[in-house]
Amino acid sequence: MEILLPSIVRGLGIGSTYALLAVGFVVIYRATEVVNFAQPALMILGAYFTSWFVIGLGMPFPVGVIAAMIVMAGIGAVTERVAMRPLVGQPVFSAAMVTVGVFIVLTMVASRLIGPDILTVGDPWGLERVEVGGFAVFQIDLAKIVISLGAISAVGVLLKRSRIGLAMRATSLDQETALAQGVNVGRMFSLAWAMSAGLAALAGMLIGTGAGGIEATTALVALKALPVIIVGGIDSIQGSVVAGLFIGVAESLTRTYQPEYAPWLGANFDVVVPYLILIVGLMVRPYGLFGTPEVQRV
C-alpha cells in the first residue's frame, strides 16, 4: 500500500490532466465534427501565458491562470474564425488537416516565445507532499485531480444547463436545423474553440507544474489525450473522464511495477501503455466506452 496508493494518486493526477485535454478535443468535435490536432500547441501556449502573467507580470497565481485561459480562449476563437470557418461545408478530413497546420504554426510561435528558457508557472504546490490515508502524496497530484475534474464539471454544467450549452448541443446534433431555429452556428463554433483553448491553457498550467518546468517540446505530452478520446468515445465528456483516469492510473502502475515484475518488457514500457489500451479498446468497442455508435446506411 505504501507504494500502491501514491502510485494510484499520481496516476489519477496525470490522468485527470489527460481528461481535461481530451474534453477540449471533445467539445470541438461535438460542435464541428473535426478532431483538433492543434490542442497540444494551445496547451503549451497556455502554459507560456500563465508563466508570463504569474512570473513575468507578478500576478497572483489564480489570477494569472484565469488571465491565461481568457487569452487562450481569444486565440482559440480567432483561430477558428481565420483558419477553420472558411472550411465549413468542406470534408472534415480537410479541416482536420488544417488543424495540423495550425498545430505547426502555433508550436513554432510557442518555441519562439519560450526561446532558450525553461519556464515555470509559479504554482504554489512545488514538490510539497501531504498525508492522505497515512501515505505521503504530492500536493500537485491532488491539485491536478481537483482542478481538472472541477473544470470538466463546469463545462458539463454549462453544456447541459445553460442556453448557450443548449445551442451548442443543438449545433452538434444538426447544424442546419439549429440555424433554422435561430442559433448562430458560427458563433457556436467560435465558442467551442474558445472553450477548448481555455481548457488547454488550464491543462498547460497543470503540466507546467512539473519540477523541471516547461519547454516547447512539452507540447507533445498532450498527444496522450488522443488515446483517451478514442477509448472514452470521441463525442463523450463522460468517456473522456473515465478513460483519462483509467489510462493515467494504468500508466502509473505500469511505471511503478513493470520494472520489478516484468523487466523483460524493457525500459519505459509505460509510454506505450495508453496506445495498447487504445488498440484493445478499438478491438472491443470501436466507438469508445461512451461514444455514440455510428451507423451508416450504404
Partner 1 sequence: MKQHTTRWRRTAAVLGAVALLAAACGSDDSSTPAPAPAPAPAPAPVDDTPIFDVGVTEEACEQPAAGVSNAGNGCIYLGILSDLTEGPFAPLGVLIQRGQQDFWGRVNADGGIGGFDIDIDTYTRDTKYNTADHAQAYRQIEPNILILAQSLGTPTTAAILADMDADDVLAAPAGWWSGFNFEDSTNGLILASGYSYCLESMIGLDWFDENGPRPIGSIAAVGYPGDFGGDVAEGARLWAETNDVPFTGFIPTGPNAVVGTQDAAVGAIIASGADIVVLGLGPAETAEIVGKVAASGQPLGSILFLGAGPTWNPALLQTAAAPALIGLYTNVSPWEDFTGPAAGHAAMRDAFGDNAPINQGYAAGWVWQYPIKALLEAGAASGDLTRASLRGLVDGLAVDYEGVLPATQMGGDPNVNVNRTAVIGSVSAESPNGLQTIVDGYRGTTADAFAYSAACSG
Q: Is 115 in the site for partner 1 (CB under 8 A)?
A: yes
DSSP-derived letter for residue 131 is E
Residue 56 interacts with partner 1 (CB under 8 A): yes or no? no
Q: Does 131 bind partner 1 (CB under 8 A)?
A: no
**R_g (Cα) of the chain, nearest Å:** 19
Q: Decide: helix, strand or coil at residue 106.
A: helix
In this chain, which of 19, 77, 84, 216 binds partner 1, going by CB under 8 A? 216
Q: Is 270 in the site for partner 1 (CB under 8 A)?
A: yes
Among 192, 237, 251, 253, binds partner 1 (CB under 8 A): 251
Q: What is the smallest separation between the CB atom of 122 and partner 1, expressed in angstroms?
A: 9
Smallest distance, partner 1 to C-beta of residue 260, A: 8
**285 part of the interface to partner 1, by CB under 8 A:** no
For 180-197, b/e burial (b = at least 16 CB within 10 A) is: eeebebeebbbbbbbbbb
Closest distance of CB 131 from partner 1, Å? 12
Rank residues 214 and 226 by Cβ distance to partner 1 and give the closer one. 214
**Could you tell me the three cell numbers for 65?**
491562470
42 binds partner 1 (CB under 8 A): no
Stretch touching partner 1 by CB under 8 A, among 85-93, 149-157, 259-267, 286-294: 259-267
Three cell numbers written together for 11: 496516476
Residue with grid cell 451548442, as numbered in its chain: 168
271 makes contact with partner 1 (CB under 8 A): yes
Nearest to 167 by CA among 143, 183, 187: 183
What's the CA dihedral at 16, 20, 23, 27 to 10 degrees?
160
Nearer to partner 1, 156 or 213 (CB): 213
Query: In whole angstroms, what is the distance from residue 290 CA to residue 293 CA?
Result: 9
